[in-house]
Every structure is written in structure tokens, then in C-alpha cells.
């Protein structure tokens, strides 16, 4: 890389800020201009929000804009769009799809959700039963999806559906981009143990999706979906983090503000988990540096697996530290939040919310299989349904 590149990038950001003052420019106008200037995703191609530069420079660009008071692009509410849909569209989408979807996705004008899991196809995602039948240039989709984060405020969804039941389950899937405002899309809340409903179940009844919204080739949905899932696991477990941020930061703060609750045994456990959290944070940095050179692979499964385990152990330790105070729960009223906040509110919320960390984004059991087979090269589990047409499988 050119040694002068960071300085050139700094100057580009400075020129942009001089021409588009965040304090006086309307928020959406400013965000659209940043995208058009190639300063949204600097690693994306020119014309698609980027400059074709190394991904490692993104944090530097974001920091410069944050220091200047740049407006937010709703990244907390649109994690699925930014972390999963966008890189998948970039990799598999047509030129028309990239031009249509990436800009309003990045600016936060259009929020995205994920229609993958079903009541009978969670860990075994290839078993999805939602059908998509072609009718000319349109696909008619019917089925049920579940555990859909943010579906209640999403405009679009990445959707995995079965288009050919006559071949083995992995081969008969196709990937679509679904408009959540179309007739036949019914979103219903799923109330969680925390009291809120950030998840939903989604019923699709004869929903018409144009073939122009098919992502990738017909029947190639499993390949496209795996790219999405690899990005999801990195987004959940390998995101950039400062020291003592996330769950470890909450627990350490609770420790420091409750000296009367400390014991040698709790201190030893906290120190051990602090070290593990720091190792995970630094490993995440190395993983992101590797990802900057190519597409995410199964390595993301290790980060997501570690993230889930640490969150559950840390939130449990926090309750022990607080004693009877940890049994208090501030609010169990039904709410439908516009973003997922795994460490928000109080210790009771963190403990309950962390139970889902080992399920969402791939269960810990499935991730261990991925690590064993794809990273360690261990023998694969016996799979008796690999060569049987999907329609002949018992359900």
C-alpha cells in the first residue's frame, strides 16, 4: 500500500467536511453525500460507497467523522443490513441490485431483517420448507419464518426459500430480497424472557417477489446463505471493541461500585474472565485484519462461540456479585425495541438476554461442528439425508 495513502484519505475526509458541515447539513443529505464520495465503506468499489481501499482503513475514517460530529446512519438498528445483507449483495448481486439497495441501506433509509430460520429449520437451516414457485418473471412465496430480529420496522429482508423439492435439501434453495411491505407479509411479535419482543415470527402468504430480486443463481441459495452466515458470526462475535467494553465492562463496573460484595473467589473468577475477554478482543482484531484480505470464512464461528460463552459466564457472575439485588428486574413490560442491546438496562436484563447468545447467529453446538470439520479437519458427522430428495425427508 502507498505510504501516503492514509494522508491522502485524511485530506479527502477534510475536503468532504469542509464542503458538507455536519452541523448545518440536513442529516440524510449529508449521509447520501458521504456515500457518493466513497467514504461510507472505503473497501467497497468506487460508485458503491467506497474507494476500493483496504478495509483496515475504515476505523480511521469513521473516527475522523465521529470527531467531527457526523450524523448516525442507524447502524445499531440496521446491524443485519450493514453486517450481513450489504456484503452479500456486494458479492453476489447484479449491478442493478447493488445500485438499488446499497445506498439506502447504508444511509439507514431502509432497514433490513433476515428471513432464514423456521419452526422446523433452525440449526438445520438447509431443511427450510418455505416454498418459492416461479410464475413467469415472478416468484410466489409461502411459508413461515421465526426469530426474525427487527422485522417490525424492516423495509427489506434477505430470504432463503425452497425452489426445488426434488433434489437434496442443500441443492434446492434460492436466495431472495423480499420487500416487507408487500401484500402477504404478516409480522407478529415474539415476546422473550426479557419481556420485550425484538424478535418476530413472519408469515408469508403468496408473496410475489420479482425475479430481479433473486440474489445469485436459482438453486445456489445455500452458497449465498453461507456467505451471509459467515458475515453474521463475525458481526456478532468479532466486532471492533475497546478494552473493557461490552459485557466485561458492565461486570467490572459492577465490581468496582460494590466493594462490600467482593470475595476472593469472585475476584479470581472475574480476573480469569477478564483475561479471556481481552484474548477474545485481540483475537477479533486479528480476524478482522485477515478478513480485510478476503471473504470471511469459518473462523468467525470461533469468535461467535467465545462471545456467547463469555457473555453468559460474565452475566452470571454479575448476579452472584450483586446477591439479592441481582434478582431485581427494572421493567418487564412488553416493548418492541428498534435495536438489539445485549448489555443494556440492568444486571437482570443482561443475564436473561445472554441466554439467547448461544442460539442466535448459529447455535453453539452447530458452531462446534463447523470448527471441528472446517478448521480442525476432523471427520464429519454422519449425515444420512445428504443424497435424499428434500420431499422424501421425514418432517
Which CATH number covers residue 178?
A: 2.40.110.10
Please give the model's pTM, rounded to 2 decimal places. Answer: 0.88
Say yes or no: 174 and 123 in one domain.
yes
Residue 83 in any domain: the answer is yes
What distance in Å separates the CA atoms of residue 145 and residue 319, rounded to the nearest whole number? 34
Say yes or no: 189 and 234 in one domain.
no
What distance in Å separates the CA atoms of residue 198 and residue 335, rounded to the nearest whole number? 8
- Report, in this order, helix, strand and coil percent for the chain, each rounded to 5: 50, 15, 35
Say yes or no: 249 and 322 in one domain.
yes
Which residues are the active-site residues? 232
Residue 384 in any domain: the answer is no
Say yes or no: 233 and 349 in one domain.
yes
The tally of domains found in the chain comes to 3
- Among 79, 107, 135, identify where a domain stops: 107
Residue 285 in any domain: the answer is yes
Say yes or no: 325 and 233 in one domain.
yes
Which residue range is the domain that position 69 belongs to?
Answer: 7-107
Residue of 253, 235, 257, 236 whose CA lies nearest to 244: 253
By the 10 Å C-beta count (0-12 exposed, 13-18 middle, 19+ buried), 11 is classed as: exposed
Say yes or no: 40 and 27 in one domain.
yes
Residue 78 in any domain: the answer is yes
Say yes or no: 214 and 244 in one domain.
no
Say yes or no: 231 and 360 in one domain.
yes
CATH value at residue 64: 1.10.540
What distance in Å separates the CA atoms of residue 169 and residue 94, rounded to the nearest whole number? 26
Three-state secondary structure call for residue 66: helix
CATH value at residue 338: 1.20.140.10
Say yes or no: 84 and 174 in one domain.
no
What distance in Å separates the CA atoms of residue 74 and residue 111, rounded to the nearest whole number? 9
Residue 392 in any domain: the answer is no
Residue 65 φ then ψ, to 5°: -70, -40
Per-residue pLDDT of the chain (395 residues; tens, 9 = 90+): 445 568 899 999 999 999 999 999 999 999 999 999 999 999 999 999 999 998 878 888 999 999 999 999 999 899 999 989 999 999 999 999 999 999 999 999 999 999 999 998 988 899 999 999 999 999 999 999 999 999 999 999 999 999 999 999 999 999 999 999 999 999 999 999 999 999 999 999 999 999 999 999 999 999 999 989 877 766 665 566 778 889 999 999 999 999 999 999 999 999 999 999 999 988 887 776 666 555 556 777 888 899 999 999 999 999 999 999 988 888 888 999 887 788 878 999 999 999 999 988 778 998 899 889 988 999 988 888 888 999 999 87
Residue 258 in any domain: the answer is yes
Residue of 211, 121, 231 whose CA lies nearest to 163: 211
- Among 77, 107, 137, identify where a domain stops: 107
Say yes or no: 320 and 364 in one domain.
yes
- Among 86, 107, 128, identify where a domain stops: 107
Residue 1 in any domain: the answer is no
Residue 394 in any domain: the answer is no
Amino acid at each position: 500500500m502507498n505510504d501516503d495513502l492514509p494522508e491522502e484519505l485524511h485530506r479527502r475526509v477534510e475536503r468532504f467536511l469542509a464542503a458538507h458541515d455536519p452541523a448545518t447539513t440536513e442529516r440524510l443529505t449529508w449521509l447520501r453525500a458521504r456515500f457518493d464520495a466513497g467514504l461510507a465503506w472505503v473497501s467497497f468499489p468506487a460508485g458503491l460507497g467506497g474507494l476500493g481501499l483496504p478495509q483496515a482503513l475504515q476505523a480511521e475514517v469513521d473516527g475522523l467523522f465521529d470527531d467531527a460530529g457526523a450524523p448516525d446512519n442507524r447502524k445499531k438498528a440496521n446491524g443485519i443490513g450493514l453486517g450481513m445483507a450489504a456484503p452479500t449483495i456486494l458479492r453476489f448481486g447484479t449491478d442493478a441490485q447493488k445500485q438499488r439497495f446499497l445506498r439506502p441501506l447504508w444511509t439507514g433509509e431502509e432497514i433490513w431483517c433476515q428471513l432464514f430460520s423456521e419452526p422446523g429449520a433452525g440449526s438445520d437451516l438447509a431443511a427450510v420448507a418455505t416454498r418459492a414457485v416461479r410464475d413467469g418473471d415472478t416468484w410466489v412465496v409461502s411459508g413461515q419464518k421465526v426469530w426474525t430480529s427487527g422485522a417490525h420496522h424492516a423495509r427489506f429482508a434477505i430470504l432463503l426459500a425452497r425452489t426445488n423439492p426434488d433434489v437434496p435439501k442443500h441443492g434446492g434453495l434460492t436466495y431472495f430480497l423480499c420487500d416487507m411491505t408487500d401484500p402477504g407479509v404478516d409480522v407478529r411479535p415474539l415476546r422473550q424472557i426479557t419481556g420485550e419482543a425484538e424478535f418476530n415470527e413472519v408469515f408469508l402468504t403468496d408473496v410475489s417477489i420479482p425475479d430481479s430480486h433473486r440474489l445469485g443463481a436459482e438453486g445456489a441459495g445455500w452458497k449465498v446463505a453461507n456467505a451471509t452466515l459467515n458475515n453474521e458470526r463475525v458481526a456478532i462475535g468479532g466486532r471492533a471493541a475497546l478494552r473493557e467494553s461490552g459485557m466485561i465492562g458492565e461486570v467490572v463496573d459492577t465490581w468496582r461500585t460494590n466493594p462490600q460484595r467482593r470475595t476472593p473467589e469472585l475476584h479470581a473468577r472475574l480476573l480469569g474472565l477478564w483475561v479471556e475477554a481481552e484474548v477474545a478482543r485481540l483475537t477479533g482484531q486479528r480476524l478482522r485484519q485477515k478478513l480485510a484480505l478476503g471473504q470471511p470464512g469459518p473462523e468467525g464461528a470461533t469468535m461467535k462461540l467465545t462471545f456467547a460463552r463469555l457473555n453468559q459466564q460474565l452475566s452470571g457472575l454479575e448476579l452472584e456479585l450483586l446477591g439479592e439485588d441481582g434478582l431485581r428486574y427494572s421493567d418487564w413490560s412488553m416493548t418492541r425495541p428498534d435495536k438489539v442491546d445485549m448489555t443494556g438496562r440492568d444486571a437482570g436484563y443482561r443475564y436473561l438476554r445472554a441466554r439467547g447468545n448461544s442460539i442466535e447467529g448459529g447455535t453453539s453446538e452447530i458452531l462446534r461442528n463447523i470448527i471441528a470439520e472446517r478448521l480442525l479437519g476432523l471427520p464429519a458427522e454422519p449425515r444420512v439425508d445428504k443424497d435424499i430428495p428434500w420431499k422424501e425427508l421425514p418432517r
